[in-house]
Chain A
Amino acid sequence: MIVRNPGLLSLIQDAGRTGFQRYGVSVSGAADQEALLIGNLLVGNEPDDAAIEVTFGGAEFEFSQDAYVAITGGDLQPSLDGTPLSMWESFFVPAGSMLHLVAPMSGMRSYIAIDGGIDTPLVLGSRSTHYSSGLGGISGSALKPGDIVPLGINTDNATPGAKFPSELRTEYGSDLTVRVIAGPQQEQFSPTGIQSFYASAYTVTESSDRQGLRLDGPQIESSQGKYDIVSDAVVPGSIQVPGDGKPIVLMTDSQTTGGYAKIGVVASVDLPLLAQAPPGTVIHFAEVSVPEAQSLMRERRRAITEADMLTPLRKTRQPLTVDGVDKDVSVTYRSDDSSQPGGTLASVEINGIRSTVRIEEIN
């Protein structure tokens, strides 16, 4: 796959680089792990395979080989050779096609999961790009125009039209309630400070990135004017409060250790909401216990992995004109709503050449 235009930021990311945090190596990985997982499931990949994370859009990729692809996460209005694509659905992409992600309709990060994954070298066990330390991806950097992204070997596990049920999709709102587990340094904040944190609205500022979301809102008062601690380890979702009293939610590219007191940690189940929260998003925090957060996380994981993503296989015969000759073509596709606007993409094979077609119901 050739990167024609990476847009603002396009990165190769997988489930993350774990096991080396004690050496100062950030976890990195997909900011929205849930969207990565679903994308991989839709194209028959391993759950932790690498995909391309596109931030805000403006990105174009040319496929130099046939592939099955699914786009999940934030809706950046994807299209294939100018034809709009559905999110959360797998489709066949013939070699030579151009995939375009335009601009956010909802959320801010899309994941392009490709059958067989991405085959860049593993660095410390992961393909994830941590560009600030130059690890992973292609030469440790974000994708650049002209980069060739090597794709993995087609697994034959994918079928077009596999679809993540719409009722299970996370809604990326502009006004969020994010659940938080208290601590580990909650005692360093005054009762007033803790009250401000849970009762106020905070806004995601422009100076937010994959390292952390800097929030604006009422100051969080520490108990003795002290916000620093002897540095200890942090996790994605740790909410640290530096001297200005404004919280920073650490995200997946964060440093491994930090010297500011942490008032709470975001429940894992709500991290995808933050990964899809552009500047201006309003956030309210609500306290949750560890056992509650754990059962929410497990329920969500179960709902995703047990979701019925495959709709019944359909076969149809269609008359088609190929190179001026009328032919009867057999089309195989999976979909339950070929009546939706734009129809459904399916794979057809004519004289041994596979290509993708759009099926629309004609009454």
Chain B
Amino acid sequence: MALISEFPKIVPVGDQAVNIEFGNEISDAINDRVYAFADALTSLPPPWIRELVPTYRSLLVHYDAAKFDFDTINAEMLELVQSNSSVASSATRRAQLIYELPTVYGGEYGPDIESVAENAGLDTSEVIQIHSSIAYRVYMIGFSPGFPYLGGMDPRIATPRLATPRTRVPAGSVGIAEAQTGVYPNASPGGWQLIGRTPVPLFDQNRIPPAVLQPGHFVRFVPIAQDQFQKIESDVASGDFEIQVSESTR
């Protein structure tokens, strides 16, 4: 068991980046600190910063190693970390934003829903009910462009990854891997159990920021029928689709 005082910890990641670790587990409090510190650095920003990559529990800082030494970065970073204990990032200060993702569950859209149900000892309708009843927190974006790592799934439907990953998972696929759930924004290889698919695009290379979902946002999956999927798909294509966002206070 790690001591609380071990964190925050600054660890070199090669010769051009450092990782600031705020903990070693998935928790809202640690994730809040990561994004709060990322916001604090962005608002300064120190002259050596090249790029920030916040994740579940840590913040990777790429720095300009052509001009600045590791020792300088380490010392300045330590001071910044200690003087910024805020957990109120712009993500958490905002009212809780819940993005609705209309999703067709099962069938060709979610070919693994039966094995998830079987693994859980439930009916597929119960799996759908459980999966769509929670607003999931976006902890980070990673793996592939716009891919949200969502937390808070009901452990009853936790399912191991596929023994053999698929070579191609269709864009919009909603999956489960252990106690996590997520959406593949683009077609890619993948090993998650696929339970459904959403027609809502989550990544747009012509938009800044290119990812629709941001850490601190919440996501709710809304079960829809196949014909609604096709309707939304054509609205997306014609530019008439707008993602539904509801607000609630934390």
Contact = CB atoms under 8 A, between A and B. Distances in A.
Interface in A12-56: 18-26
A255 B143 contact: yes
B14 A233 contact: no
Given A21-B51, A232-B19, A267 B14 contact: yes
B12 A184 contact: yes
Residue of B14, B54, B145 with most chain A CB atoms under a 10 A cut-off: B14
Contact of B142 (A24, A237, A238): A24
Given A230-B24, A232-B55, A294-B69, A181 B141 contact: no
B26 A22 contact: no
Contacts of B15: 181, 265, 267-268, 290, 293-294, 297
A256 to B, nearest CB: 5
B200 interface: no
Contacts of A135: 145, 205
B25 A20 contact: no
Interface in B98-144: 140-144
Interface string B37-77: 00000000000001111111110101001100111000000
A123 interface: yes
B146 A23 contact: yes
A297 B19 CA distance: 20
B78 interface: no
B12 A23 contact: no
Interface in B64-96: 65-66, 69-71
B175 to A, nearest CB: 15
A266 interface: yes
Contacts of A267: 14-15
Contact of A265 (B13, B51, B57): B13
Given A232-B56, A290-B12, A134 B186 contact: yes
A231 interface: yes
A21 B146 CA distance: 10
B56 A301 contact: no
A220 interface: no
B140 A235 contact: no
A26 B71 CA distance: 28
A297 B70 CA distance: 13
B14 A21 contact: no
Contacts of B155: none
Interface string A171-189: 0000000000101100000
Nearest to B27: A230
A133 interface: yes
A291 B71 contact: yes
A232 B58 CA distance: 7
Interface residues of B, number: 45
A84 B51 CA distance: 43
Nearest to A288: B15
B194 interface: no
A132 B188 contact: yes
B147 interface: yes
B143 A257 contact: yes
B11 interface: yes
A327 interface: no
Contact of A232 (B25, B57, B145, B205): B57
A153 interface: no
B152 interface: no
A257 B205 contact: no
Interface in A222-243: 229-233, 235, 237-238
Nearest to B60: A233
Contacts of B232: none
B16 A23 contact: no
Nearest to B30: A230
A303 interface: no
B22 to A, nearest CB: 11
Interface string A108-119: 000000000000
A169 interface: no
A230 B58 CA distance: 10
A294 B65 contact: yes
A237 B15 CA distance: 10
Contacts of B203: 23-24
B16 A235 contact: yes
B51 A19 contact: yes
Contacts of B62: 18, 235
Given A232-B56, A294-B69, A24 B12 contact: no
Interface of A: 18-26, 123-124, 132-135, 181, 183-184, 229-233, 235, 237-238, 255-257, 265-268, 290-291, 293-294, 297-298, 301
Given A24-B147, A232-B60, A235-B62, 19 more contacts: A22-B51, A24-B211, A25-B210, A183-B13, A184-B11, A230-B25, A230-B56, A231-B56, A231-B140, A232-B55, A233-B19, A255-B142, A257-B53, A267-B14, A268-B15, A291-B70, A293-B14, A297-B15, A297-B66
10 closest A-B pairs by CB: A257-B142, A265-B14, A233-B60, A293-B15, A233-B53, A23-B211, A290-B70, A184-B11, A21-B53, A24-B145
